[in-house]
Amino acid sequence: MTELVKDPLFGLAATLFVFQLAKWLQQKTKQRLLHPMLVSTLLLIGLLNIANIDYVDYNHGGQYITFLLGPATVALAIPLVRQLPVLKKNWQAILLGVVSGSLVGVVSVLGIASFLDASREITLSLTPKSVTTPIAMEIARSLGGIPSLTVGAVIIAGLTGAIIGPALLTRIGVKNQIARGLAIGAAAHALGTDRCLEDNELAGAVSGIAIALVGVVTSLMASPLSSWLLH
């Protein structure tokens, strides 16, 4: 059994199986709260604890899923290309939304962390929470944060945006698909973008471009803003 658990195929197979099970559960129940990422994460944690499997052993195969985060993010460019004429026409609004979204994302974390008297290391780890995981980890590492903590924050931000983001925007009267895509992409990165694509391809395309641009803008402003606000 020990040799089976340490085999990279175990972690890979377990992750894929649990995720497919979580997707089936959401499709069956039609409950947005049962997001596949949230459910599969909880199921995997439960599996590792019940079976007394060390995370390091599981991650021998799970790391291949992490590696695919980059290509999966790049694949979001497909709807972007399809909507390119509309995006070019609205580039000023998109740029303004990206910059303001990045600014709010960074300043809100620094402000809340300061209010709660969080340590500098934790604050810097949470700063890139609204950026897609591969970029967020590098930003946290460059700031002196803890990349593994950053991943957790990114997932929570993405899940929150994907689950309640569209409903919240509808409730406050945001109907423009470009505005909806910008808001969700800037706050909830790939998980939010995936949710956008389910509703509208234009919103998904804008959300996809917001992921890339927010990553760039946040990486440029995170360090100077952190230094200024934390001193």
One digit per residue, the tens of pLDDT, for the chain of length 231 reads 556 666 667 778 888 888 889 888 888 887 877 888 888 888 888 888 888 888 777 777 767 777 776 676 666 667 667 767 877 787 888 888 888 888 888 888 888 888 888 888 888 888 888 888 878 888 888 888 888 888 888 888 888 888 888 889 999 998 888 889 888 888 888 888 888 888 888 888 888 888 878 888 888 877 766 666 565
Burial classification of residue 128, based on how many CB atoms lie within 10 Å of its CB (0-12 exposed, 13-18 middle, 19 or more buried): buried
Rounded Cα–Cα distance for residues 13 and 19 (Å): 10
Which residue bears the tokens 């909806």? 180
Nearest to 82 by CA among 201, 194, 186: 201
Token pair of 167, please?
A: 């409903």
What pLDDT was estimated at residue 231? 57
- Give CA separation, 80 vs 21, 96, 106, 174, 197, in Å: 30, 18, 25, 21, 11
Question: What secondary structure letter does DSSP report for 197?
Answer: H
